[in-house]
């Protein structure tokens, strides 16, 4: 038989939640490691008082009761494991493994017995159920009843909140108070936090990041109390898992992190970590309210009655002593800037990622601790939309993924070396070429590879992008736009038969061949006329477009959001320049030396190095450059005074004269522009009682000839002019138009058509009417 036995499928029940882990029985100790929290529970074989083998719904339970009354139960054993365990326990622990029957009756009355740190309820001398009293958070009495309330566990699917026991009076002894006796035994073993006696020490106004605020911390023998303005918290030392002391990235502050399980609660909020923030320069003195004997017996001389030093050191030292937990500090990892943390963001909150020797911890919002033994793989990914940073993904074996984004590109080499040194599996997932890297993913999960996956993917993406750009350039071809090839210009508004295409021609079919040459000459003349007409139309349209652009550029309405171009200020070359600062003077003289010492450094690295050297200089070394700066500043002030004296004043005679001339010239030019842009008075061709008028019907008819061209232009100009006059003028124009239309109908019925000269000859009365309307 070997000197140890190990079981990997064992579970432990803690406050209603079943936590899987590994149980290892050694010759001198029993060790259980929780897979979820990583917490290790250990006790020696000499501490085991009794051991029992109980039957469960699924499998069997191994129960150890220690000399101090604590009970440890481990479930998940098979029936075949009994013989091996019994022989091993009897050999090394000198205790026999006893089988104990469990009652399956549905009775709710029986005998309550207090065994060590638990309450056992027996029915017919068989165990019905067992209550660990350290799970009891509160207890009350009422007549013949005692009520027990339990701590809640968020990880448990179903939780027992309270249970009531009815305790009858003792018939043999009527004066005996059985209820109070039962209650006293429960309270004696229960985990009920009561602030009795004086605190070991008090810490006032300590800055907490989670829960946020400033709290007064009172440290008692078995628990810790936080007292704030609105909330109070009591934290038993048994719930403390780990302690972390993490230096801030700026080098001036320190995080002190306390990991808790179960967490402290406030309503629906759970705080799994208590984070305190201290300044490294702050010092304090603490007087402990303990005697020298108590300090020696309880804390093995690790604490003194009076202690002084940096605040974070004293607080961490006291916490380590009262909780009996080790303090974890960062290991050998150094970032590109020399700090022990990497700045990044998790979801929408910024914080710091600390690579530790056995895991990662992120502070401060939300704080999280990821152990290496629960990490499945890590991934380096390109940050979305930013080439100066990358993402670091951590995927656990349970499937949870933590995505830390916005890490500076300079930190990649240090972080990758750390990950490879800790032998973590690197997983590579590309956004666009995911299938291509499936083999790399499988290889990284099963084997240790030394390839830099992030660098390889960057190269591949660059090649894909370059090849994609070449394809786009080869496929694209720019063709000049020629609207005349696809169709003709838009037909004029009043043309009777406008051409629809450039190749359209009017051919007349004649059976005789004598007139063929004459017809060809007529066709060529018609083509030339159409080409000239089209040319004129194009020129006319271009002129109209230019006029519109000039009008829109000149006339800007009020409230428009057009941005005005900033006029460049004229720089006077005679004006003295400001002197350089003391740092710039020093840096300009020592720049070449820094560059020689750091030949591979970039421009930004050189400037950063210069800033670090300048900050590291003493006041005496800086004094030389400060004196140079003050001297240069005095010279600048003297030169500036002379410049201001010799500078010509703004209101001098010559300048004022030039200004008047410029004003006159600008005003005259404005008048000329206004005269040019002012529209001519409209001539009303429709007025006149007896005047002849050619209506729109005759102009747009098929019988119109080329002789009507000036008439068309005249009417088009009249239509393009803006409407003028008030309501009275419009009404007069409408009445006159009605009269003219009636006269036109009469003349058309008589078969008389007015000539162009009659239309263009406008009577004087029409001029007066239009002028009066416009006024």
pLDDT in tens, 619-650: 888 888 888 889 899 999 999 888 888 876 54
pLDDT 10s digits, 48-81: 989 999 988 778 999 998 888 888 889 989 888 8
**What letters, b where the CB count within 10 A reaches 16 and e where it falls short, cover 624-649?**
ebeebbeebeeeeeeeeeeeeeeeee
Residue 651's pLDDT is 44
Asked whether 30 and 40 are in contact (CB, 8 A), the reply is no
Angle between helices 582-597 and 619-646 (to 10 degrees): 130
Low-confidence ranges of the chain (pLDDT < 70): 1, 192-197, 383-386, 428-455, 457, 463-523, 549-571, 648-735, 741-775
Residue 392's pLDDT is 92
Asked whether 275 and 257 are in contact (CB, 8 A), the reply is yes
- SS3 of residue 379 by DSSP: strand
Residue 448's pLDDT is 42
**Distance in angstroms (rounded) separating the CA atoms of residues 216 and 201:** 11
Residue 125's pLDDT is 87
Residue 404's pLDDT is 93
DSSP label of 426:
B
Asked whether 234 and 191 are in contact (CB, 8 A), the reply is no
Residue 618's pLDDT is 85
Least Cα distance to 687 among 762, 742, 620 occurs for 762
Residue 298's pLDDT is 84
**Distance in angstroms (rounded) separating the CA atoms of residues 586 and 602:** 19
Asked whether 241 and 37 are in contact (CB, 8 A), the reply is yes
Cis preceding linkage at 278, omega within 30: no
Token pair, residue 501, equals 């295409």
């Amino acid at each position: 038989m070997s000197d140890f036995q190990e079981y990997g499928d064992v579970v432990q029940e803690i406050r209603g939640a079943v936590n899987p882990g590994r149980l290892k029985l050694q010759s001198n100790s029993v060790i259980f490691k929780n897979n979820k929290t990583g917490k290790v529970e250990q006790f020696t074989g000499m501490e085991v008082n009794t051991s029992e083998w109980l039957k469960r719904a699924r499998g069997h339970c191994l129960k150890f009761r220690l000399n101090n009354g604590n009970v440890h139960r481990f479930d998940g054993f098979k029936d075949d494991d009994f013989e091996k365990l019994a022989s091993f326990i009897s050999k090394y622990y000198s205790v026999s493994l006893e089988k104990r029957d469990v009652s399956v009756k549905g009775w709710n009355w029986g005998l309550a017995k207090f065994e060590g740190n638990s309450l056992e309820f027996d029915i017919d001398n068989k165990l019905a159920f067992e209550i660990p009293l350290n799970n009891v958070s509160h207890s009350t009495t009422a007549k013949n009843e005692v009520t027990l309330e339990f701590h809640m566990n968020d990880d448990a699917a179903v939780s027992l909140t309270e249970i009531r026991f009815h305790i009858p009076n003792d018939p043999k002894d009527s004066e005996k108070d059985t209820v109070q006796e039962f209650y006293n035994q429960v309270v004696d073993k229960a985990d009920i936090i009561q602030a009795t006696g004086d605190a070991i020490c008090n810490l006032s106004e300590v800055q907490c990041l989670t829960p946020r605020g400033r709290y007064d911390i009172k440290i008692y023998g078995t628990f810790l109390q936080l007292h704030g303005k609105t909330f109070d918290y009591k934290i038993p030392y048994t719930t403390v898992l780990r302690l972390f002391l993490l230096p801030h990235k700026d080098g001036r502050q320190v995080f002190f992190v306390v990991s808790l399980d179960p967490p402290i609660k406030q309503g629906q909020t759970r705080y799994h970590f208590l984070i305190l923030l201290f300044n490294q320069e702050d010092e304090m003195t603490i007087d402990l309210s303990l005697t020298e004997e108590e300090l020696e017996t309880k804390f093995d001389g690790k604490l003194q009655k009076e202690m002084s030093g940096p605040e974070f050191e004293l607080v961490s030292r006291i916490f380590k002593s009262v909780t009996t937990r080790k303090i974890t500090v960062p290991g050998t990892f150094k970032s590109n800037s020399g700090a022990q943390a990497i700045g990044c963001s998790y979801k929408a909150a910024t914080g710091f990622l600390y690579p530790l020797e056995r895991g990662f911890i992120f502070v401060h919002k939300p704080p999280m601790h990821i152990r290496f033994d629960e990490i499945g793989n890590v991934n380096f990914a390109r940050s979305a939309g930013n080439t100066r940073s990358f993402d670091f993904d951590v995927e656990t074996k349970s499937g949870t993924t933590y995505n830390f984004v916005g890490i500076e590109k300079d930190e990649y080499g240090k972080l990758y070396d750390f990950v490879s040194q800790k032998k973590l599996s690197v997983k590579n997932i590309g956004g666009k070429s995911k299938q291509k890297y499936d083999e790399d993913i499988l290889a990284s999960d099963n084997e240790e590879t030394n390839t830099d996956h992030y660098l390889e993917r960057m190269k591949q993406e660059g090649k894909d992008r370059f090849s994609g750009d070449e394809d786009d350039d080869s496929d694209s071809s720019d063709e000049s736009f020629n609207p005349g090839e696809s169709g003709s210009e838009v037909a004029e508004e009043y043309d009777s038969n406008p051409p629809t295409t450039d190749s359209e021609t009017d051919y007349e079919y004649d059976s005789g061949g004598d007139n063929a040459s004459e017809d060809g000459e007529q066709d060529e003349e018609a083509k030339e006329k159409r080409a000239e007409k089209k040319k004129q139309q194009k020129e006319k349209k271009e002129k109209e477009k230019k006029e519109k652009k000039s009008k829109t550029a000149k006339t800007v309405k009020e409230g428009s959001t057009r941005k005005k171009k900033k006029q460049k200020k004229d720089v006077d070359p005679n004006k003295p320049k400001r002197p350089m600062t003391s740092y710039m003077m020093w840096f300009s003289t020592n720049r070449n030396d820094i560059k020689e010492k750091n030949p591979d450094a970039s421009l930004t690295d050189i400037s950063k190095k210069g800033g670090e050297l300048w900050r590291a200089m003493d006041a005496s070394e800086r004094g030389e450059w400060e004196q140079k700066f003050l001297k240069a500043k005095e010279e600048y002030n003297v030169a500036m005074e002379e410049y201001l004296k010799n500078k010509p004043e703004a209101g001098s005679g010559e300048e004022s004269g030039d200004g008047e001339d410029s004003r006159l010239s600008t005003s005259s030019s404005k008048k000329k522009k206004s005269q040019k842009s002012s529209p001519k008075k409209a001539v009303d061709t429709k007025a006149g009682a007896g005047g002849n008028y050619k209506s729109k019907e005759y102009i747009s008819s098929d019988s119109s000839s080329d002789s009507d061209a000036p008439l068309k232009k005249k009417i088009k100009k009249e239509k393009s002019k803006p409407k003028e006059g008030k309501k009275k003028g419009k009404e007069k124009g409408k009445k006159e138009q009605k009269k003219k239309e009636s006269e036109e109908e009469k003349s058309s019925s008589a078969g008389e058509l007015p000539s162009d000269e009659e239309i263009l000859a406008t009577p004087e009365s029409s001029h007066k009417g239009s002028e009066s309307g416009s006024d």
